[in-house]
Homo-oligomer: A and B are copies of this chain.
Amino acid sequence: MQESRLALTTDRIVSVCRELLIEGGPPAVVVREVARRLSVSAPALYKHASGRDDLLTLLIASLQDELATNCEQARDAIPADDAPAKLGAATAAFRSWALANRSEFALIYGQPIAGYSAPEDGPTVGSSLRFGRVFAEIYGQLLRDGRLRMPDETDLPEGFERTLVHSPLPPDQQFPPAAVYQFAMGFQRMLGLISVEVAGHLGWAMTSSDVFAQRQLEDLAGELILPKPKGPSA
């Protein structure tokens, strides 16, 4: 094995895949072109990935990890006792990563079209869970601190509780249904708002959607978070 320059590591492969993704979207990440840019023959890649789909899967997992790391770091730069600020920071980190890496964001959160890379048990689920945990921990703290606004249990949609997936948390850390409801709402709205903005679907109304979209996320936080109680409760 001659090392023409560097070793042919999975990292270098994924990195080239990302270049191609940025340049021309998913259809542009083409096995033979990846090989060309690595000065290597195409079948060599099959020692590291089982095919083109696997290349995409590796890339997705890597990007999910980068995104999760970004949000995690933003969150952990906030004073430990300020859960509301943590939510704001993680959300802002999510949004700015998405805007700065539109193609990558689209690959991760674009509609998982039939026939595309559909990893059921691949390395994506680990990264995906890690990402979920970043936000789950914030909501957990909001809940413990009494800063999470929660609807009355009787106001939840009929049959909502029955559809809940029981979380893998220990029983003493389980979220009450109303908290899961708020978590899911925060997630659905955050991801939805950012997806629409990143896709440029606001272009018909404004030339720059920056201040508008940011306000939408702030309003969401306002709906989720309870103002700090005034005096000491005891």
Report which A residues bind B (CB closer than 8 A).
Answer: 22-28, 102-103, 105-107, 109-116, 132, 157-160, 163-165, 180-181, 183-185, 187-189, 191-216
Contacts and interface: CB of A to CB of B under 8 A. Distances in A.
Given A193-B192, A195-B192, A160 B211 contact: yes
Instruction: List the number of copies, as a whole number.
Output: 2
A110 B24 CA distance: 16
Main secondary structure of the interface of A (DSSP, over half): helix
Given A191-B201, A195-B196, A205-B180, A115 B158 contact: no
B132 A208 contact: no
Contacts of A192: 188-189, 191-196
Given A110-B113, A212-B163, A188 B193 contact: yes
Given A106-B113, A160-B206, 15 more contacts: A25-B115, A26-B116, A105-B111, A109-B199, A110-B110, A160-B212, A163-B208, A165-B203, A188-B196, A189-B192, A191-B192, A191-B196, A192-B192, A195-B195, A195-B196
A231 B187 CA distance: 40
Nearest to A188: B196
Nearest to A219: B185
Given A24-B114, A189-B192, A192-B189, A184 B201 contact: no
A163 B163 CA distance: 42
Contacts of A207: 163-165
21 contacts: A26-B115, A28-B114, A28-B115, A102-B111, A103-B113, A106-B110, A106-B111, A106-B113, A110-B199, A111-B198, A132-B204, A157-B211, A163-B207, A163-B209, A165-B203, A165-B206, A165-B207, A184-B205, A185-B216, A188-B213, A192-B195
